[in-house]
Every structure is written in structure tokens, then in C-alpha cells.
């Protein structure tokens, strides 16, 4: 299992790494496929904070706990994580039963920032398209956002509808930590650029992205994933659940 360890204001020790590794190894018995684990240790105002993010089964589990003792924080976080996995498996079973019985799917409640967060992860389409086709796809499918792969370019962009009836196309600029927002107008089946603006694109962990989204009451957040160094889109689904869109390649 691939575990990435990060330490802030606290010394890195093999003992604490081994302790976390022993705890997380048991997760392999409970999940079909674990892509990776991100374990973060920090000290803030004499409090020991442990954060764990698990990428598994097309889902991201994130737990953050603070205690006076780091090992206690780890134990509490792992207990909550295992409970979250239990709830996830239960929801999957309920969803399958609901589909079989043509019943309404369960509603997901929006998590509190310091509690476990279950995040659905979706990959953007591999099929390349230009801005015009992306906007037409957005309209046809009544999406709020659409992440798409540009024609003849190794980059993904996000397109979204604006209140003024125009569209914003957000694209990362190569190697400079910025993104460009182009406001375009769709006219007679063609896009017409109206304005262009440059903004810094933050490099965040998923935990930091969730915190920024919630603290600033944002509708969505486009950021560079600190683990993959690829652009991600984080937003709330129609039932309040957290969703991440990420590039497929």
C-alpha cells in the first residue's frame, strides 16, 4: 500500500509511521482497491493533529482529529474512518436495493468540517473537445460544471454557466501556478471571447480544499491537487454530498 507521510511542526519518526502503517494495512481487508493513503501529522497550539485521506473504490475518505497525544488522535481518526467505511458499504447496499426496487435513493447530508468526509470521485471524459463543444455538452446535459480535455492539448479545463447568460472557461496555465478564466459568449453555435483574467491557482490537499470551500461558503473550488499535481474541481452535489471531478489521464 502506498502511504505518503507529511509532518508539520513535529519530528518525523519511524515509530509513528509504523503505527499508522499497521492501522491502515487492515483497510485492505475492507476495501476492494486502495489507490493511496495520505497521512499528515501536525502540532498547532500544543494540540496534536492527525489527518488521513484514503483514496479507495472511486471514493475519497477524509478524517481529521485533534488530541493532546498524537497516538490518541490516530486511534480516534481510524475508529471514525472504519465507521465511515461501514456507513459507505451500507449506503452502497441501500442504493443497490433501491435500484432493484425502483425506490428513491438515500439523501446524503453535508459533513461538518471536522467530521469524516465521504467524497465521490468522477473522472472527466477522455474524448477531446473544444470550448464550443464543451458548452453544448453542458447545455444538453444540464450540468452545472463540465471538466473536459482540450483538442490537441495535454490539459483539462472547466466550463460553467454564468448568471449573465455567458460562460466561463477556466484553464490552468503550464508551470506558473496560475489559471486563466475566459468569459465567452455562445452565438450561432460559435464561441466569442469577451474577457480574459488571470488568477493564482492554489495547490491544496483534499483536506485543505474542503476547508477552503466550507469556510468561504463557495459554490465550487478549482485547485491543483497537492498529491497528483493535476487540476481538480470540488463542489457540492444536489444532495449536499461532496464531489470531486479529476482528469481521466
Residues 74-100 have pLDDT tens digits of: 999 999 998 888 888 887 777 666 545
Asked whether 139 and 168 are in contact (CB, 8 A), the reply is: no
As a whole number, mean pLDDT of residues 52-60 equals 83
Q: What is the DSSP string of 80-109?
A: HHHHHHHHHHHHHHHHHHHHHHTPPPPPPP
Q: Is 34 helix (H, G, I), strand (E, B) or coil?
A: strand
Residue 169, CA distances (Å) to 93, 183, 239 in order: 38, 6, 25
For 119-137, how does the pLDDT look when each residue is reduced to its tens digit (9 = 90+)? Answer: 888 888 778 899 999 999 8
For 161-215, how does the pLDDT look when each residue is reduced to its tens digit (9 = 90+)? Answer: 988 889 999 888 876 678 888 999 998 888 899 999 988 888 888 888 888 888 8
List domains and CATH numbers for the chain.
3-106 (3.30.160.100), 123-228+241-246 (3.30.505.50)
Q: Is residue 66 predicted with pLDDT exceeding 60? A: yes
For β-strands 59-67 and 47-56, DSSP reports them as antiparallel
Asked whether 210 and 180 are in contact (CB, 8 A), the reply is: no
Considering only residues 13 and 99, tell me which one the structure prediction assigns the higher pLDDT: 13
What would you measure as the largest C-alpha separation in the chain, in angstroms?
A: 64
Mention every residue, 6+ apart, whose C-beta is less than 8 A from residue 238. Answer: none
**Residue 107: which pLDDT band, with cuts at 50, 70 and 90?**
very low
Global pTM reads 0.58
Amino acid at each position: 500500500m502506498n502511504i505518503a507521510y507529511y509532518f508539520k511542526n513535529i519530528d518525523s519518526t519511524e515509530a509513528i509511521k509504523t503505527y499508522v502503517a499497521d492501522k491502515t494495512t487492515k483497510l485492505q481487508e475492507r476495501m476492494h482497491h486502495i489507490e493511496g493513503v495520505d497521512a499528515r501529522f501536525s502540532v498547532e497550539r500544543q494540540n496534536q493533529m492527525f489527518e488521513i485521506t484514503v483514496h479507495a473504490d472511486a471514493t475519497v475518505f477524509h478524517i481529521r482529529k485533534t488530541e493532546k497525544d498524537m497516538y490518541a488522535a490516530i486511534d480516534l481518526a481510524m475508529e471514525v474512518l472504519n465507521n465511515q467505511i461501514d456507513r459507505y458499504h451500507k449506503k452502497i447496499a441501500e442504493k443497490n436495493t433501491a435500484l432493484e426496487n425502483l425506490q428513491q435513493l438515500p439523501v446524503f447530508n453535508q459533513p461538518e468540517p471536522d467530521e469524516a468526509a465521504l467524497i465521490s470521485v468522477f473522472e472527466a471524459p477522455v474524448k477531446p473537445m473544444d470550448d464550443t463543444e464543451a458548452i453544448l455538452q453542458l447545455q444538453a446535459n444540464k450540468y452545472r460544471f463540465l471538466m473536459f480535455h482540450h483538442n490537441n492539448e495535454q490539459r483539462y479545463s472547466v466550463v460553467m454557466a454564468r448568471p449573465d447568460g455567458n460562460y466561463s472557461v477556466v484553464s490552468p496555465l503550464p508551470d506558473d501556478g496560475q489559471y486563466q478564466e475566459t468569459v465567452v459568449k455562445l452565438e450561432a453555435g460559435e464561441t466569442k471571447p469577451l474577457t480574459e483574467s488571470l488568477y493564482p491557482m492554489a495547490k491544496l490537499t483534499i483536506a485543505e480544499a474542503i476547508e477552503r470551500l466550507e469556510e468561504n461558503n463557495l459554490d465550487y473550488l478549482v485547485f491543483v491537487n497537492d498529491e497528483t499535481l493535476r487540476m481538480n474541481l470540488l463542489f457540492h452535489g444536489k444532495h449536499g454530498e461532496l464531489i470531486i471531478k479529476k482528469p481521466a489521464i
